[in-house]
Structure 1
Amino acid sequence: MRTAALIVFLVGSSALSAAEPRFDPLSPEELDRIVELLVDSGRTNAGTRIARVTRLPVAKDATPKRQARVIAIINGRTEDILVDLDTETTRFAPVATGQAPITSNDWSRANELIRDDPRWRAAMAARGIGDFDAVFCESLSSGYFPDTPSARRRVVRLPCYEISDATTNIYGRPIEGLVATVDPASGEVIDILDEGVTPIPAPAAQIPAAVAAEQTRDLRIAIDGNRVRLGPWSVHAALDDQFGLVLSDVRFFDGSDSREILHEGHVSEIFVPYMDATESWAFRTYLDAGEFGLGTLASPLVPGVDCPITAAYIQSHHLTATARIVARPRTICAFAEPLRGPIWRHYEALNGINAGATGEALVIRSIASIAHYDYIFDWVFGPTGEIEIRIGATGIDAVKALAGNTNTPEGNRVTPDLVAVFHDHFFALRLDLDIDGRRNTLVRESFAVNEARENKLQRSYWRLSPRAVEVEGPLVPSGPGLWRIVSDEREGMFDGGTGYQIMPEGTVSLLHPDDFPQTRAAFSAAPLWVTRQDALERAAAGDLPNQHPGGAGLPVFADGQTVIGEDLVLWPTVGFRHVTRIEDWPVLSVIWKSVRLRPYGFFSGNPSVQMK
């Protein structure tokens, strides 16, 4: 197979680009200045590790400021640091609850420590493993469980894999029942959990490597800095360490009228609990955005595979744990995607005339690769004014080794000696909607069935019964209906303000409300939440969920304020229960879930129709 020459079209981060200080990510120069200010503060040292750097959002009414929030590990403690780039000042605050996200430095340090631990070496020897170069150990978040090290100190847990000759699937030969618990900062291997020897599975099938294709840039996609334009849409796209792809100031040009729809939108958190009660698995209850970072772990996009050959790319910059600035040229792509089938059509039998239209959507994409899972995040902007947020789950199923031919209730077998463990995926989205202005109202339009027994024909019919949501909180509808967010600032053509319908897709958590993982991911108990807008309330499970006991995020944000005619944020939960199948191995075909925002009284007609 011939590997085509790779020509990547990069846009954004140019000195000639139009600056948008309210939305733009931190530039390389700003990241460099942040490091200088941290060093100049005298509060850091050579052992300081940076876990996350994000631009601090600005209140809508405030003058844009360039401030950064840095989560760092200093002398083994998590520090929350505000860096003001305008005044060149820093403010340090120790974190009392929760821990810094897991870093690449945690992984490298923990791996060094366990390889020198005699208990771990003895456990490996009992399994016939003496070549540690053929062993990969991943550093996982530990969750929060009282009376364990996760309740007292910052730790990572390390299961391991035999990876001889593995290239594209290093997870197929788990060294089952062996998990180390390590405090990377103190250098202590706290515990070696050994549940007994299970034979190491046979070598796993490897999957074909992606081959990049030559680029043919679609010049219709206009990109200026981080601003993307195609057709009637104008969108600001950037990468955030914690939340990954963030879309801001989303506007639809209705003729010459630039109409705001979304101030800011992004995935806020991902909750992935595994359904295995054994001690070596039960801690695996991940909160991926807060514990690892969807932007930190954004993977490079492959032209012709991850994005069409016509795509344009927006580069991003990341500050590593050791304060090194890394340019990442292909972490966001933008492209035009042909729509499946016609946008609309009609055949007029009276005269034999066919009417119809095809079209394309603007797609902005990023992919986060978090250990064995890959998450595709698509924002799709269609010619009808519809916005679809698509989330695709793919990658390698988490598998455990089987001892013998016994079936297990916690998963389905994918090979004779591997079982893929059942688990959930719950994605919390944060949608700061400004439908034709900031003052909006969320309305539940329930379907009410009425009877007309005196009618000789149809005797029952349904009507819409609208009711405005009055206060913040989780929203669990008692019957069929739909959600509509309505502008209190602009009248529609008929019957009230302009609006959009929100259409979540998925399910909610079945875990007990008082289960420790569920208290940390309380957002997953409801399909939709509504809160008043606060620029700093962005994380559905709290800013620092790593080893947090729970109760942070949405349960705190939703404190009973009224939401009628206010600046609102909607938090849909997109989820699915992953019942694993043999067809998921050796790689999982993409499972797509989505949320749709659909115009409902927003336009004066179908915006995709060129009227005669």
Structure 2
Amino acid sequence: MNSHVPIERLDAPASRTRHALDPLTPAEIESVIALVRADGRIGVTPRFWGIALDEDVARHLPADASRPVRLVVMNPLAHAAWEVTGWTATAADAARLHSWTPVDAKRPGVSSEEARAVGRAVRADAGVLAALAARGITDAAQVWVDPESITGFEPEGLTERRLSWATLWYVENPEDNGYSRPIPGLVPIVDLETLEVVKIEDHGVTPIPPEIGNYGSGAWGPDREVSALDIVQPNGPGFEIDGHRVSWQNWTFRIGFTHREGLVLHDIAYTDAGKTRSVLRRASINEMYVPYLDPDPTAYRKNFFDWGEYGAGPLTSSLELGCDCLGEIRYFDAHALNGDGEVFTIKNAICLHEEDDSVLWRHVNGRTRNSEVRRSRKLVISAFATVANYDYGFYWTLHQDGAVELEVKLTGILSVSGIDDGHTAHHGRMVAPNVQAPIHQHYFGVRLDTAIDGEINRLVEVYAESEPDDSLNPWGNACRMVETPILDEANGGRRADPSRALHWRVESESTDNRFGDRTAYRLSIGDTTNLFVKPGSIVERKAPFVAKHLWATPYDPAERFIAGEFPNQAPLEAEGVTAWQAANRSLDGAKLVLWPVLGVHHYPRPEEWPIMPVARIGLRLEPDGFFDRNPSLDVPAGVPVSHCAHHGDGKCDC
């Protein structure tokens, strides 16, 4: 990595006042947790799963006021859990609690602290040790344990317990890639409350893969030669930061962070001709669902709600040690609550920087040979989450032409299974000796609270077809765009179809452009997938929201998550957006919430082993009648540099 930015310049400056939507501070979190700890009902060994700002109430509060929060606390000895609401402390007011609402004790998410406790319990269990010995493993310290959510696959007789099942990995040396050597056929099932191994499934001894699968520098020979590439902004960055508020070009927005969703953007707006115009009230990755499509006994249970069962916030990675961003970077720290009720800080959790983005627009006048070229730059707000073997990057991008993009980057290590000598991977690919990578999918449930020129919006589906009226199509080449307003929730689940150029338009209900059309933004979802399972299967029933590529609902502060409030060990029936649709509320002239679903079908390749090059999926919001003309006409021409001189016209295209 090459960057001239000194480390002391990487911290975002503090604001004079805290905005009501800013992420919770450690002091605020601790002020509420202290009151919860003082309540006798949580017992002597309480466990916690997240604390979050109640944004709907907080949005209307003045700066630096006490803020409303909600958190989940469990008493594992009493098989009890509660969602607790309260208010944070300020310089003027003490923290206070408001309510304790019982929650099904099985259903809160699993913290990293609980996961580590499961690992200790598995490595200490006599039955597991005997099964490991039968596979030639006599040192339990050489076994990694990944506790996995079990939703929908609870064994008979254990359905009322709070459970986890474990995948096991063999690691000879601490620096080895443990995810390259699964221990096949051995599945311990653990009671998360008592930390007992309550069942052991042993499907027979299969050879442990021989290759350690390391991927560090030099592991597969000398590194190649790579020339230096410097990102230089001699005048500093083009954005300004005030606390968590960011201004760049004509854009303004606020950076947020939650336990469940991680990075959140608030109040995205664009200033046009001196007027600030709203675009999105809120944007986040709301849920991630990862089903594995392989009947292998150590793979068929792999079906995870990574956000609802674990939480994006505590899984967010620190970016300070990597080369995740280059140039004039500004980082934002994040604070989360661990499973023991302690606040921890994720240093440099969110990255803010500008990137060159090739040509913004260009034309050569064929008669005068005069050319006009503008280079594009974009502002990127990004974060990474590490979910055991996989790493996911979330990149929100603002463009100079008024577009907003989300790109999800998938990398890390494939979750693999062991396979016996001479066997064929029918539902996956061989990636190493005795190692198969199952077919699987990744679904990202996005949440967009739209605010196109105001909070009241309308959703319209648009697709192309050949003009059916022969009188309007004498040459057979006429194409028309068919527009269908989506007026109620009964029609609020939609499917993408690139073959028909299908997209959706979100229109303002109060503002017209100079052509008399409603100002609007266009939502496009590119390459996405379907769920390839049998109807009625556990996988289908567990996550019914993946059946559509877009859902629309009217805003309701109680409807926060596409898969429901507590998906861990939830019943296999509609919760979340598919349950809300049953009310068939009107979407006409509503405060809209859109829930795009991005689906990656992952048929693994040997080239993705032992570590996976980045794969990408995303969506794009672009102005569609929001402006009266190209809004980037005011972008100045670039200054040519020496290596562009051969173009002759002094304009730089690349």
**TM-score category, normalised to shorter length:** over 0.9
Residue identity matched to 2:544: A
* Distance in 1 separating the partners of 2:530 and 2:429: 22
* Distance in 1 separating the partners of 2:396 and 2:429: 33
Alignment-derived partner of residue 83 in structure 2:
80
1:265-414 equivalence runs, <5 A? 265-302=283-320, 305-339=323-357, 341-414=358-431
Is the aligned partner of 1:92 residue 2:117? no
What's the CA shift string for 1:279-319, capped at 9, x where partnerless? 32211101111011111100111466111142110111112
TM-score by length of structure 1 reads: 0.93
Alignment-derived partner of residue 613 in structure 2:
589
Distance 1:13 1:38, change over 3 A: farther
Determine helix, strand or coil for the equivalent of 1:29: helix
Within the candidate set 153, 156, 159, 2:164 is matched to 156
Quote how far apart the aligned CAs of 1:477 are.
6.3
Determine helix, strand or coil for the equivalent of 1:145: coil
Residue identity matched to 1:334: L
Alignment-derived partner of residue 594 in structure 2:
570
Alignment-derived partner of residue 145 in structure 1:
153
Alignment-derived partner of residue 548 in structure 1:
570
Distance 1:307 1:405, change over 3 A: same
Alignment-derived partner of residue 7 in structure 1:
7
Is the aligned partner of 1:503 residue 2:504? no
* Native 8 Å contact 1:303 1:309 kept in 2: no
* Distance in 1 separating the partners of 2:232 and 2:476: 60
Quote how far apart the aligned CAs of 1:270 are.
0.9
Distance 1:450 1:26, change over 3 A: same
Residue identity matched to 1:118: A
How large is the Cα RMSD of the aligned pairs? 2.7
Is the aligned partner of 1:19 residue 2:18? yes
Distance 1:132 1:434, change over 3 A: same
* Native 8 Å contact 2:505 2:521 kept in 1: yes
1:218-233 equivalence runs, <5 A? 218-233=236-251
| Structure 1, 547-556 or 574-583: larger mean CA deviation | 547-556
Quote how far apart the aligned CAs of 1:184 are.
2.6
Distance 1:206 1:514, change over 3 A: same
* Distance in 2 separating the partners of 1:13 and 1:195: 56
Residue identity matched to 1:276: D
Distance 1:278 1:420, change over 3 A: closer
Is the aligned partner of 1:68 residue 2:85? no
| Structure 1, 426-435 or 157-166: larger mean CA deviation | 157-166
Within the candidate set 501, 505, 512, 1:491 is matched to 512
* Distance in 2 separating the partners of 1:105 and 1:202: 31
* Distance in 2 separating the partners of 1:269 and 1:441: 24
Determine helix, strand or coil for the equivalent of 1:58: helix
* Native 8 Å contact 1:450 1:463 kept in 2: yes
* Native 8 Å contact 2:106 2:163 kept in 1: no
| Structure 1, 24-33 or 302-311: larger mean CA deviation | 302-311
* Native 8 Å contact 1:396 1:585 kept in 2: yes
* Distance in 2 separating the partners of 1:166 and 1:461: 66
| Structure 1, 106-115 or 184-193: larger mean CA deviation | 106-115
Alignment-derived partner of residue 140 in structure 2:
132
| Structure 1, 568-577 or 64-73: larger mean CA deviation | 64-73
Alignment-derived partner of residue 475 in structure 1:
494
Within the candidate set 585, 603, 608, 1:579 is matched to 603
Determine helix, strand or coil for the equivalent of 2:32: helix
What's the CA shift string for 1:91-141, capped at 9, x where partnerless? 212213851111122222222222232211110110111111111111111
Within the candidate set 104, 107, 119, 2:112 is matched to 104
* Native 8 Å contact 1:38 1:90 kept in 2: no
* Distance in 2 separating the partners of 1:556 and 1:471: 14
1:519-530 equivalence runs, <5 A? 519-530=541-552
Alignment-derived partner of residue 28 in structure 2:
30
Distance 1:281 1:61, change over 3 A: closer
Quote how far apart the aligned CAs of 1:209 are.
6.5
Distance 1:280 1:562, change over 3 A: same
Aligned length: 608
* Native 8 Å contact 2:521 2:624 kept in 1: yes
* Distance in 2 separating the partners of 1:150 and 1:344: 62
* Native 8 Å contact 2:4 2:327 kept in 1: no
Residue identity matched to 2:18: A
* Distance in 2 separating the partners of 1:576 and 1:447: 25
Determine helix, strand or coil for the equivalent of 1:133: helix
Alignment-derived partner of residue 193 in structure 1:
201
Quote how far apart the aligned CAs of 1:458 are.
2.4
| Structure 1, 353-362 or 69-78: larger mean CA deviation | 69-78
Quote how far apart the aligned CAs of 1:221 are.
2.6
Is the aligned partner of 1:518 residue 2:540? yes
Determine helix, strand or coil for the equivalent of 1:279: coil
* Distance in 2 separating the partners of 1:203 and 1:483: 48
Is the aligned partner of 1:47 residue 2:49? no
Unaligned residue ranges in structure 2 (runs of 5+): 90-94, 219-228, 637-654
Alignment-derived partner of residue 455 in structure 2:
438
* Native 8 Å contact 2:254 2:266 kept in 1: yes
* Native 8 Å contact 1:273 1:424 kept in 2: yes
Distance 1:322 1:13, change over 3 A: farther
TM-score by length of structure 2 reads: 0.88
Quote how far apart the aligned CAs of 1:237 are.
1.2
Distance 1:257 1:6, change over 3 A: closer
Quote how far apart the aligned CAs of 1:214 are.
11
What's the CA shift string for 1:463-493, capped at 9, x where partnerless? 1222211102311368553210100011112
* Distance in 2 separating the partners of 1:151 and 1:209: 46
Quote how far apart the aligned CAs of 1:274 are.
0.6
* Distance in 2 separating the partners of 1:150 and 1:356: 66
Taking only the aligned residue pairs, the percentage that are identical comes to: 29
Residue identity matched to 1:26: L
Residue identity matched to 1:556: A
* Distance in 1 separating the partners of 2:627 and 2:47: 51
Unaligned residue ranges in structure 1 (runs of 5+): none
Quote how far apart the aligned CAs of 1:83 are.
2.1
Alignment-derived partner of residue 238 in structure 1:
256
* Native 8 Å contact 1:11 1:223 kept in 2: no
What's the CA shift string for 1:228-279, capped at 9, x where partnerless? 2221111211221111111111111113211110001111111111111133
What's the CA shift string for 1:6-62, capped at 9, x where partnerless? 826444583x444210x1111111011011111233332330011111112215985
* Native 8 Å contact 2:394 2:407 kept in 1: yes
| Structure 1, 562-571 or 232-241: larger mean CA deviation | 232-241
* Native 8 Å contact 1:405 1:416 kept in 2: no
* Native 8 Å contact 1:7 1:214 kept in 2: no
Quote how far apart the aligned CAs of 1:67 are.
1.4
Residue identity matched to 2:508: S
* Distance in 2 separating the partners of 1:318 and 1:35: 12
* Distance in 1 separating the partners of 2:506 and 2:342: 44
Distance 1:423 1:477, change over 3 A: closer
| Structure 1, 300-309 or 186-195: larger mean CA deviation | 300-309
Is the aligned partner of 1:610 residue 2:634? yes
Residue identity matched to 1:371: A
* Native 8 Å contact 1:290 1:543 kept in 2: yes
